[in-house]
Amino acid sequence: MSHPATHPTLEKEETSGSSTQSHDRSADAVEEYDLEKGSGKDDDQHATPGAGVGFAASPVIPYGGLVTTFDESAHDRKMKREKTLERTYSVDGRRPPLKVPVAARLTGDFRTLSIQLSTGGLADEKDKKKSQKQALKAISELDWHSLSVDEVLTRLSASTTHGLDSDQVKRRLARYGPNKMSKPPSPWLKKVATYIFGGFGSLLLAAAVLTVIAWRPLGGPNPPPSVLALAIVLFVVNFVSASFNAWQDWSTSRVMASISGMLPSDVTVIRNGERVSVPAVDLVQGDLVALSLGQKMAADMRIIKLDGELKFDRSVLTGESDAISGSIDKTDENYLETKNVVMAGTSCVGGGGLAVVTSTGDATVFGRLAKMSSAPKTGMTTLQKEIFYFVIAISSIAGMLCTVAVIIWAAYLRPKHPDFMSVSQLVVNVVSIAVSFVPEGLPIAVTLSLTIIANKMRQSKVLCKSLSTCETLGSISVLCADKTGTLTKNNMVAVSVAVHGFESNPADATKHIIMETPIGSALKQVQFVGAVCNGATFDGAT
């Protein structure tokens, strides 16, 4: 099939028919394409876009208020192709795609992604996340910082001059409890069961019980004492393993005590119009607390009076060591960012003032965070999973071999050689097979290894919440941190003393002070100035 090549003329007619513009294109720009078989035979057929038929000469394509026409004229060069492609161009580009019937459209290829989840510990994990969200929501709803000083004092029934009286303190202590963080729940029954039956404990305990049964009554009137000795050894091994697990749990439970030690033991408050020092656990809402340099905050408080430039350190909560200037008025809508509240666990590093207690104990921000951090974790670590799978594999192999031994005894030895092995001897042999597969020292070895690591880290002032933390840290190759004042002390100390051209470190300078020399006299003056121009006070708690 051959068609004469044409020079298409691009004619643009506006709707009013006022102007026409023609452009020449080469013959290669226009090709005919058979949309359907035989559609190219009729050159007089005009097809509109979307009609599902072939395109012929002079198709007219409406395009947004413009009419675009392709006028095919004769050309001396001829094209001979079995299939040719016609590209129709408009002023702004190619023509819109043809409208395809709905029945002829290709359906999308949808694939389903299936994810299998283990629902064993999802309930506990959901409860834990729910409690954390509730704690964070409760913190975000605190509004003590947005109230004026008078509104805070009115809500707490406190006075800036008189403070609380003894009756108010007693009532509030009875209602809200002491100012201390409650210990996390400790299900001792569940823990003891885990100590005894965890790991290979259940297998050892079952073997010990079976050995006792093999001794009496299956052992007859004169059972061999070696069977009883084996049972005692198995019980002792199980007891030692359980004791190590209990000791491991006890050593990690001391983290809560270390967190509680971060709070002060005594505070200065105004009660009955007088300044008195009371234990921090006796603080109640509405107490007026005197803030001073170096003091640790025992509760969440709202600042109501400033004495100098009050500054406090929140690094224990935020990780930022930069001192924050105190304020009486609200500086931020966020309770955690505003500067007119001081929180439990933070410390005063400059100035002083007066603050009223708004939250105590677990209701403080420090208490909420400590409660969330000390909540028991669900799930197992990588090392615990590997040990668990190892226990399952060993137990399965031991059980299979014990079953084979019992089958051989029942099917062959018992009928043909009844005196070769009694029931008591069978039980002892089966127990021996099972125990031979058990690495009794594995749990103890793992616990001891992690404990040694934890003790080494404790010597470096790093407290591990649990022994599994040592496993996680052992997987770290590089640890980068930039927390001056959080991981480091951030204490400004004298490292050098220079007088009269003499320069020395503080240790050597102490030796020169006792000498009756000009340098010694100068060093005494430096020591005197440092002692007088100093706002530090002695705190027996810290």
Q: Is residue 460 part of a domain?
A: no
Q: Decide: 353 and 347 in contact? Cβ < 8 Å.
A: no
Pick from 60, 82, 65, 76: nearest CA to 27? 76
66 and 7 together in one domain: yes
pLDDT band for 438, please (50, 70, 90 cuts).
confident
15 and 80 together in one domain: yes
pLDDT band for 263, please (50, 70, 90 cuts).
low
Q: Is residue 486 part of a domain?
A: no
Task: Specify whether 322 is catalytic.
Answer: no
Mean pLDDT across the chain? 72
Q: What torsion do the CA atoms of 434, 439, 444, 448 make, to the nearest 10 degrees?
A: -170
Last residue of a domain, one of 373, 405, 431: 373
- The alpha carbon of 95 is separated from its chain's Cα centroid by a whole number of angstroms, namely 55
152 and 285 together in one domain: yes
49 and 177 together in one domain: no
Last residue of a domain, one of 323, 338, 373: 373
Specify the pLDDT at position 537: 67
Specify the pLDDT at position 64: 41
CA-based torsion, 41, 44, 48, 51: positive or negative: negative
- The alpha carbon of 114 is separated from its chain's Cα centroid by a whole number of angstroms, namely 26
Q: Which residues contact 379 (CB under 8 A, 6 or more apart)?
A: 121, 125
224 and 290 together in one domain: no
296 and 213 together in one domain: no
Question: Three-state DSSP class for 68?
Answer: strand
CA-based torsion, 459, 318, 350, 279: positive or negative: negative
Q: What is the mean pLDDT of residues 171-180?
A: 89
142: domain CATH number is 2.70.150.10
- The alpha carbon of 266 is separated from its chain's Cα centroid by a whole number of angstroms, namely 34
pLDDT band for 391, please (50, 70, 90 cuts).
confident
Which of the two residues, 159 and 46, has the higher pLDDT score?
159
89-98 pLDDT, tens per residue? Answer: 444 444 444 4
Q: Decide: 293 and 326 in contact? Cβ < 8 Å.
A: no
Q: How far apart are CA 245 and CA 316, in angstroms?
A: 31
192 and 329 together in one domain: no
Residue 156 has pLDDT above 50, yes or no: yes
How do beta strands 20-21 and 78-80 pair? unpaired
Q: How far apart are CA 259 and CA 345, in angstroms?
A: 9
pLDDT band for 253, please (50, 70, 90 cuts).
low
Tokens representing 189 are 């029954």
Q: How far apart are CA 417 and CA 429, in angstroms?
A: 17
Q: Decide: 355 and 342 in contact? Cβ < 8 Å.
A: yes
DSSP-derived secondary structure for 316-379: HHHS--S-EE--SS---SSTTT-SSEE-TT-EEEEEEEEEEEEE-GGGSHHHHHHHHHTSPPPS
Q: Is residue 492 part of a domain?
A: no
358 and 296 together in one domain: yes
* Count of the separate structural domains present in the chain: 4
Catalytic residue among 76, 167, 419, 482: 482
pLDDT band for 19, please (50, 70, 90 cuts).
very low
Q: Is residue 164 part of a domain?
A: yes
Q: Is residue 462 part of a domain?
A: no
State which of 125-134, 244-253, 254-263 shows the largest mean pLDDT.
244-253
DSSP bridge pairs for 305: 354
297 and 344 together in one domain: yes
Specify the pLDDT at position 254: 62
Look up residue 113 and give its amino acid. L
Pick from 383, 393, 392: nearest CA to 446? 383
Q: Which residues contact 317 (CB under 8 A, 6 or more apart)?
A: 336, 343, 345, 346, 365, 366, 369
Q: Is residue 44 part of a domain?
A: yes
Residue 508 has pLDDT above 50, yes or no: yes
State which of 203-212, 407-416, 453-462, 487-496 shows the largest mean pLDDT.
407-416
Q: How far apart are CA 494 and CA 360, in angstroms?
A: 38
Q: How far apart are CA 520 and CA 240, in angstroms?
A: 63
Residue 121 has pLDDT above 80, yes or no: no
Specify the pLDDT at position 448: 78
Q: Decide: 280 and 541 in contact? Cβ < 8 Å.
A: no
Burial (CB < 10 A; 0-12, 13-18, 19+), residue 489, is exposed
- Give the residue numbers spanning the domain of 236: 188-252+382-442
Last residue of a domain, one of 373, 391, 411: 373
| 3-state secondary structure string across 255-279 | HHHHHHCCCCCEEEEEECCEEEEEE
Q: What is the mean pLDDT of residues 466-477?
A: 74
392 and 308 together in one domain: no
59-97 pLDDT, tens per residue? Answer: 444 444 444 444 444 444 444 444 444 444 444 444 444
159 and 275 together in one domain: yes
How do beta strands 341-342 and 324-325 pair? unpaired
Q: Is residue 336 part of a domain?
A: yes
276 and 207 together in one domain: no
Within 10 angstroms of residue 95's Cβ, the number of other Cβ atoms is 15
Q: Is residue 108 part of a domain?
A: no
Residue 326 has pLDDT above 50, yes or no: yes
Residue 165 has pLDDT above 60, yes or no: yes
Specify the pLDDT at position 79: 46
